[in-house]
Amino acid sequence: MLVATDNVQALDVQTKIIALIQALAQDYDLDEPIEPTTALVADLGFASLDFVQLVVDIEAAFNRKLGFQALLVEAGSYIEDIQVGALTTFVQQQLHSDPAQQVAPGDLFKKAEKSTKAEKPKEAERSERSEKAVNADVVTRFRQTIRARQIVADDSGKNAQAIFVLCPPRSGSTLLRVMLAGHPQLFSPPELYLLMYNDLAQRRTELAREANSHLLEGTIRSIVELKGVSVETAEQMMADYEQQQMSTKQFYRLLQEWMGDRRLVDKTPLYPLDPGILSRAETDFVDPLYIHLVRHPYGTIRSYEESKLDRFVPAMYENPFERRQLAELTWLVSHQNITNFLQKVPQQRWLQLSFEDLVSQPGTAIGNLCDFLGLAVDPVMLEPYTHSQQRMLSGSRDLTRMPGDLKFHLHKSIDAAAACRWQQFFTDDFLADMTWQMAESLGYSAAEVHQLAGF
């Protein structure tokens, strides 16, 4: 049982928080000490997953849940950065139980000011480039690190049609999922992580590590939403299914029975790393539909580096590749597997959709997508930051447990600038020829990149 911690002095809170940040950032090359004015994003390069881990560490240090959902949702819609001192103030006020003494989260922060520390010159990007390049041999080695799943054949009848979003991580799939969740004829939960496992017991065994146990949340959140039960009841139901070693195919069927006439959308970005997982969708479902979500490789790589995803996701943190190389490999191999797989699927059952179109022309993109799915457009789909309960925008207990992109909550509306923000961070073309070949087959131009200022 978590208990309250009373009479904690602000200085003690700050000291603990700084120590936790230092531990989390021990692999960073920090030029200056962490101080109250240090900004987590501008000065330390924190990303959404860094903040998730910091939240977990802070709550463990004070042995109390501190309500960080209020920090990200109520204030997060307009906060671009958080200073250590402001974070200390938030934690300090949450540690006191008297609501009269608490400061509203929105009063603690202001729109981020430019960091007082000198910005890293763009030229530094060149000197920090890895000497490791992506080539055919490296791709082969990367594929060898991906453990092929031994899927046990299930001769029971196929499940009803489902919709699968196929893409690498950091492709904008959280935005797409939430937009789809706005349609009353679809059930689009957070990442399910089901298709790669034979049964629910195997799934829990592999995902129950502290660093990635949040990946178990999608099924809990689905049960809460579909059955109208409490989180505790949903967790007990899931534990019972795991104890029974219920097959994931049977659990999919259960979800589909609960959702009635709605169609299930499964967006789990790790599926495309293994061709066998993709093939299982064809084996276990009747005429499944596929949305092939693509994003510029540089946009995906930049988002991957920023999120430091390799530290939190299975199959990514135990490998010999450095972060940028791993990001490019993940993008390339995922799309190789997806395109090879879709060549064997009737063309009327899959659609390619670009992240760039989704954020720059959302009305047109969603219209085309709904035509493909045989649905009328619902205007709510174009307002992804509303109706948060229906869209399942948090984990089962709090926001920090949500699988997917936590930074989704830092926006108020669809951001068209997200399509090309990566251009601020790269100054030369480091993509391998084979990566560009794949990118151009998906509609991206190397020549356009080479014409950008600074390249």
The pLDDT assigned to 415 comes to 81
Given a contact cutoff of 8 angstroms between Cβ atoms, the answer to whether 206 and 197 are in contact is yes
List of domains in the chain: 10-108 (1.10.1200.10), 145-450 (3.40.50.300)
pLDDT in tens, 321-361: 888 899 999 999 999 999 999 999 999 999 999 999 999 99
Given a contact cutoff of 8 angstroms between Cβ atoms, the answer to whether 10 and 92 are in contact is yes
The pLDDT assigned to 128 comes to 46
Mean pLDDT of 94-113: 49
Give the other-Cβ count within 10 Å of 436's Cβ. Answer: 17
pLDDT in tens, 113-132: 333 333 444 444 444 444 56
DSSP-derived pairing of the beta strands 162-166 and 289-294: parallel
Residue with tokens 């490998």, as numbered in its chain: 319
When computed from its CA atoms, the radius of gyration of the chain, rounded to whole angstroms, is: 22
CA gap 375, 368 in Å, rounded: 10
Residue with tokens 């929105």, as numbered in its chain: 106
Give the other-Cβ count within 10 Å of 122's Cβ. Answer: 13
pTM, rounded to two decimals: 0.74
Edge-to-edge, what's the strand order for the sheet holding 162-166? 186-187, 263-267, 162-166, 289-294, 350-354
User: Helix count (H) and strand count (E) of the chain?
Assistant: 20, 5
pLDDT tier at 22 (50, 70, 90 boundaries)?
A: confident
The larger pLDDT score, comparing residue 200 to residue 37, is at: 200
**233: Cα within 13 Å, side-chain hemisphere:** 9
Where do the H-state alpha helices sit in 182-311? 200-207, 217-227, 231-243, 248-258, 275-284, 297-307
pLDDT in tens, 360-397: 999 999 999 999 999 999 999 999 877 665 656 655 55
